Amino acid sequence: MPRIRQHNVTAARWSSNGAALGSPDLTIADNQVFGANVFSPAVQRRRLPKHVYKALQRTLAKGEALDTSLADAVAQAMKEWAMEKGATHYTHWFQPLTGSTAEKHDSFYAPAGDGTALAEFSGKELIQGEPDASSFPTGGIRATFEARGYTAWDPTSPAFILENPNGALLCIPTAFTSWTGEALDHKIPLLRSMDALSGAAVRALGLLGVEDASRVFTTIGCEQEYFLIDEQYYFERPDLLTTGRTLFGAKPPKGHELDDHYFGSIPERILAYMLEVELELAKLGVPIKTRHNEVAPNQYEVAPIFENSNVGADHQMITMQIMQNTARRYGLVCLLHEKPFAGVNGSGKHNNWSMGTDTGLNLLEPGDTPAENLQFLFFCAAVIQAVNKYQALLRASIASAGQDHRLGANEAPPAIISIFLGAELEKVFTAIETGKVQPSKPGSFLGLGTPVLPPLPLHGGDRNRTSPFAFTGNKFEFRALGSSQSPAFPNTVLNTIVAECVDELTDKLKAALKGSATLEKAVTAVVKEAWSANKQIIFDGDGYSEAWHKEAEKRGLVNLRTTPEALPWLIEKQTIAAFKKYKVLSKRELESRYEVFTEQYVMNINIEAETAASIARTMVLPAAVRYLNELRASGLEDLIGEVEPRIKELHYALVKLEDANLHENQPDSSAQKWAVYMRDTVISAMEDVREVADRLEKLVADDRWPLPKYSEMLFIK
């Protein structure tokens, strides 16, 4: 059997090999694993002195500073708990601007001087770390000579234990800062933005007559899309291994046109994998709720129940890590890249977002009829205003090299930011605008045409899958995040701009109330004005269509198709002013992010381009030439005539790509120019090489082809 076919058979022959996890009796309390590896409030209550526990809870509930004199007691309890679970080491776990998580492990043990070792962990070690970590990108905030970076304990995100077959590790979520106090990570600005929004929302609630709320939390729940492929194919593809996506590969005869994968029954190996991922995540307190097959072959989705944004963002990072680690136990590789396969749907992350008070109110939950609910309309109008005012910034917050393959292509979602509200809610706003109070649709029911099925309550608005920012009943869904992206930065942006617009509307409300208008009249007037000024951002049609691109342009909405166009909005005047006002990011911190993200874009494309050139030269070209020699030996001129010119074309395109990759041919004056060069010159050179190589894939003898094909990677499960 040819080499590749043999691999397919092996790949398809997976079995759980007796390593099954089994199904324990879940009615027995000891078999419940949720939160087993989390230093949760419940564990804290059991293990901490009462006053320490209470102080910690206040920090969690009200965002108050923790008295650091209590840290020794917390450290002591945390260490004992962790060691009981087999932890020998601890780490300050943080999120540098690389977009992934970072850890540096320290042992609990220190020599006691008499030839033995003692386990120690002090409050100081809990609160502060100095990992040096000078190699993380800082966008110029830290020169290496001032390389000191600190990590600081975030008591609002619980510590957890990561298990390994050979031991366990206590992870302490921390913030990462320079010695001058500038944020070098994604957590600090997220926490600052949550404070900003809380302040603004509590002030607004006071005017709206809700006086008992003292804190507002933003909440997120991220739906994560991903691919799973057999690991044999992965390790046979240098492009997947190095860049996370396939740089070559002809379109397979079958894609997802039959829609036979979406929501299909989940294959046994995949479900076994999902169950183990969910078990691991349950131990870590990540509340996974939903799983299903996605649209593309071998594509899946997982989603948790929402949590406060900080914990939710940490949990999202843990989720991605556990998904990737667990896959290997099943002979699989989990691909989180935004576009692992050309011509096949890519992967995103839907960021469900809302605001809730410490008293349990969801500020984006409409009342019985939406028109009645002033509070809901007020906050909803603030979100609409924020998204319209900062469209470009929101787009920039999700920009990356991987994302450029999805946004702006004919695939979810478009690069143009718009809001979908649903028919009913749109009617309410329109009624307010025109002054006609139009009763919202009476609660109707959807009959299913047979009495054996119960009537279903009909939602006021249908869903719109193409919208990048959609209202979905009691939350907004920012659908444009990349699958591999940390949700922290987009949520930082969202929280900050909404805080500003809540404040803007609150100021107006205050003024209107001074003029002795009733609350209802005043809110209606404020909402009406915000709606009229911002309704251009509302769109309920097909976001993928060419017509929408034209219409959006007419409306003056921004369409930033690529990362180099989007990122400069991070350092626009309006952005800098808002982020300064709300103390979320200083100008220097914003500039550092712009620089780091731009460099990441350049480097990612550079790595892809060099990988593509190397595969083309050392794998594809030799395979094609060998095949040509076989044809020559056969003397079949027609066949030679089909292949030979393609090889020449490939060589021509390859030399051009290698040329584009040469450092001396690239601009080095500014990161922005470099990024534009990568986009305009390098990417197109890469695409030209791929185009010929993919044609050769369909000509060259299958047993000669050096790379696993789409039809194999995407369909063998």
Query: Under the rule (CB under 6 A), what is the footprint of ligand ADP?
Result: 219-221, 223, 290, 303-306, 352-354, 362, 474-475
In the structure encoding, which two tokens stand for residue 70, read together?
A: 């209590």
Closer residue to ligand ADP, CB minimum distance, 224 or 326: 224
Nearer to Mg ion, 155 or 348 (CB): 348
Give the Cα separation of 386 and 416 in Å (integer). Answer: 15
Residue 276 or 477: which CB sits closer to ligand ADP?
Answer: 477
Which of ligand ADP, Mg ion, none does 59 bind, CB closer than 5 to 8 A by kind? Answer: none
Beta-sheet pairing, 419-420 with 469-471: parallel
State which residue, 406 or 709, has the beta carbon closest to ligand ADP.
406
As to burial, measured by CB atoms within 10 angstroms (0-12 exposed, 13-18 middle, 19+ buried), residue 651 is middle
If binding is defined by CB under 5 A, does position 475 make contact with Mg ion? Answer: no
Residue with tokens 């989940």, as numbered in its chain: 266
220 or 689, CB closer to ligand ADP?
A: 220
State the nearest-atom distance from the C-beta of 463 to ligand ADP, in Å: 7
Report which residue's Cβ sits closest to ligand ADP. 221
The upper half-sphere exposure of residue 703, i.e. CA atoms within 13 Å in the direction of its Cβ, equals: 6
547-556: Cβ within 8 A, 24+ apart: 548/414, 548/416, 549/414, 549/416, 552/416, 552/418
How far apart are CB 413 and Mg ion at their closest, in Å?
11
In the complex with ligand ADP, which residue's Cβ is closer, 287 or 568? 287
Residue in the structure block whose two tokens are 């906050």: 379
362 binds, among ligand ADP, Mg ion, none (CB under 5 to 8 A by kind): ligand ADP
Q: CA separation (Å) from 216 to 12, 61, 156, 494? A: 50, 10, 14, 15
Contact call for residues 543 and 467 (beta carbons, < 8 A): yes
Q: Using alpha carbons, list the distances in angstroms from residue 648 to 85, 120, 696.
A: 62, 67, 11
Supply the angle between the helices 423-434 and 519-534 in degrees, to the nearest 10.
110
Least distance from ligand ADP to the Cβ atom of residue 388, Å? 21
CB of 476 to ligand ADP, least distance (A): 9
350 binds Mg ion (CB under 5 A): yes
Name the minimum Å distance from CB 355 to ligand ADP: 8
Least Å distance between CB 350 and Mg ion? 4
* Backbone torsions φ then ψ of 152, nearest 5 degrees: -130, 130
Q: Which does 65 bind (CB under 5 to 8 A by kind): Mg ion, ligand ADP, none?
A: none
Residue 339 Cβ vs ligand ADP, minimum distance, rounded to whole Å: 21
Q: Taken in order 374, 375, 379, 380, is the CA torsion positive or negative? A: negative
Q: Which is nearer to Mg ion, 351 or 575 (CB)?
A: 351
Closest distance of CB 354 from ligand ADP, Å: 3
Q: Which is nearer to ligand ADP, 225 or 595 (CB)?
A: 225
Q: Cα separation of 415 and 377, whole Å?
A: 27
Name residues contacting Mg ion, limited to 206-245 (CB under 5 A): 223
Q: How far is the CB of 470 from ligand ADP (least distance, A)?
A: 9
231 and 332 in contact (C-beta within 8 Å)?
Answer: yes
CB-CB contact of 643 with 631 (8 Å): yes
Residue 12 CB, shortest distance to ligand ADP, in Å, is 30
For the chain, percent helix, then strand, then coil, each to nearest 5? 50, 15, 35
Residues 643-682 that bind Mg ion (CB under 5 A): none
Which stretches within 182-258 are classed as H helix?
Answer: 187-207, 231-235, 238-243
Residue 115 DSSP symbol: S
- The one of Mg ion, ligand ADP, none whose footprint includes residue 574, by CB under 5 to 8 A per kind, is none
Pick the closest to residue 519 from 141, 206, 242, 237 (CA basis). 206
- Compute the least distance from the CB of residue 223 to Mg ion, in Å: 5
Least distance from ligand ADP to the Cβ atom of residue 593, Å: 25
The closest alpha carbon to 105, from 134, 125, 75, 135, belongs to: 125
> Is 417 or 602 the residue whose CB approaches Mg ion more closely?
417
Which of Mg ion, ligand ADP, none does residue 304 bind to, with CB < 5 to 8 Å depending on kind?
A: ligand ADP
Q: How far apart are CA 181 and CA 327, in angstroms?
A: 39
User: In this complex, which beta carbon is closest to ligand ADP, that of residue 306 or of residue 539?
Assistant: 306
Query: In the complex with Mg ion, which residue's Cβ is closer, 290 or 532?
Result: 290
CA–CA distance, 363 with 355 (Å, rounded to integer): 6
Cβ contact 205:508 at 8 Å: no
Span near Mg ion by CB under 5 A; candidates 312-320, 350-358, 402-410, 701-709: 350-358
Q: Is the dihedral of CA 161, 162, 164, 168 positive or negative?
A: negative
- Taking the least distance from each CB to Mg ion, the nearer of 222 and 590 is 222
Please give the C-alpha separations between residue 262 and each of 244, 293, 296, 446, 527, in angstroms, as whole numbers.
23, 5, 7, 24, 40
Report in angstroms how near the CB of residue 475 gets to Mg ion at its nearest.
10
Q: Can you list the positions of beta strands (E) in 491-582?
A: none
Residue whose beta carbon is closest to Mg ion: 350
Residue type, 186: H
Residue 35 or 312: which CB sits closer to Mg ion?
312
Q: Regarding beta strands 87-93 and 167-178, do their DSSP bridges make them parallel or antiparallel, or are they unpaired? A: parallel
Q: What are phi and psi of 451, to 5 degrees?
A: -65, -15
DSSP 8-state class, residue 448: -
State the number of binding residues for Mg ion (CB under 5 A): 2
Q: How far apart are CB 304 and Mg ion at their closest, in Å?
A: 12
Alpha carbon distances (Å) from 144 to 99, 100, 316, 321, 592: 20, 21, 31, 29, 15
Closer CB to Mg ion, 350 or 427, in the complex: 350
What string of H, E and C letters represents the secondary structure of 465-517?
CCCCEEECCCCEEEEEEECCCCCHHHHHHHHHHHHHHHHHHHHHHHHHHHCCC
| 3-class DSSP string for 94-108 | ECECCCCCECCEEEC
Nearer residue to ligand ADP within complex by CB, 39 or 471? 471
User: Residue 14 CB, nearest distance to Mg ion (Å)?
Assistant: 30
Using the rule CB under 5 A, give the single segment among 34-42, 256-264, 347-355, 514-522 that binds Mg ion: 347-355
Which chain residues interact with Mg ion by CB under 5 A?
Answer: 223, 350
